[in-house]
């Protein structure tokens, strides 16, 4: 599985970032995603899979990481074509650096889901940029 994403700096607080992430991902979960979720619940294939979670770091080397994020959140966003379980996953990692926050938006994807992952990360970045006009993209 590959990943794509972007890194940025912002003066938004961690709480503000979490709130805007929730709003942005919620708007990605449009009518098509709701329809897909409804179809899954009727077929008893897991119901509504739109959920937030804390990403796990299962790497055996993670204990060596001296700069772990202060906050992390992930979300699975169902897709219409995914009534059998297809979804786009996005993670947000935040490091509080005092007067600013460093943020990484990351979306693991397969070759076929790369366009959805790219769209999701771009949508969240746009939402954050509208909230902080001084936001700076470090790496994309």
pLDDT score recorded for residue 68: 94
CA distance 140 to 55: 21
CA distance 131 to 135: 9
pLDDT category, 81, cuts 50, 70, 90?
A: low
Per-residue HEC secondary structure of 99-117 comes to: CCEEEEEEEEECCCCHHHH
CA distance 92 to 82: 23
Q: Are 127 and 20 in contact (CB under 8 A)?
A: yes
The per-residue pLDDT for range 10-65, each reduced to its tens digit, is: 999 999 999 999 999 988 876 454 544 444 444 344 444 468 999 988 889 988 98
pLDDT category, 80, cuts 50, 70, 90?
A: low
> Beta partners for 53?
74
The per-residue pLDDT for range 82-136, each reduced to its tens digit, is: 444 578 899 999 999 999 999 999 999 888 778 888 999 999 999 999 999 999 9
Q: What homologous superfamily is domain 2-55+69-139 in, according to CATH?
A: Kinase associated domain 1, KA1 (3.30.310.80)
Residue among 32, 28, 4 at smallest CA distance from 109: 4
Give phi and psi for 105, each to the nearest 5: -105, 125
* Its pTM surpasses 0.85: no
Phi-psi category of 103—alpha, beta or left, where left has phi over 0 and alpha has psi -120 to 50? beta
Residue among 95, 104, 107, 105 at smallest CA distance from 71: 95
CA distance 90 to 107: 4
In the chain, where are the structural domains located?
A: 2-55+69-139
pLDDT score recorded for residue 30: 61
């Amino acid at each position: 599985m590959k990943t794509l994403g972007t890194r940025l700096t912002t003066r938004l607080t961690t709480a503000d970032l979490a709130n805007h992430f929730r709003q942005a991902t919620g708007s990605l979960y449009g009518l098509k995603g709701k329809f897909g979720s409804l179809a899954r619940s009727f077929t008893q294939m897991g119901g509504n899979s739109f959920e937030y979670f804390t990403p796990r770091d299962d790497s055996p080397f993670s204990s060596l990481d001296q700069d772990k994020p202060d906050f992390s959140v992930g979300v699975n966003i169902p897709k219409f074509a995914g009534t059998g379980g297809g979804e786009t996953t996005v993670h947000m990692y935040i490091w509080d650096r005092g007067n600013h926050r460093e943020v990484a938006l990351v979306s693991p994807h397969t070759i076929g889901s790369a366009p959805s992952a790219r769209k999701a990360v771009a949508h969240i970045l746009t939402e954050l940029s509208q909230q902080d006009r001084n936001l700076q993209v470090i790496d994309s």
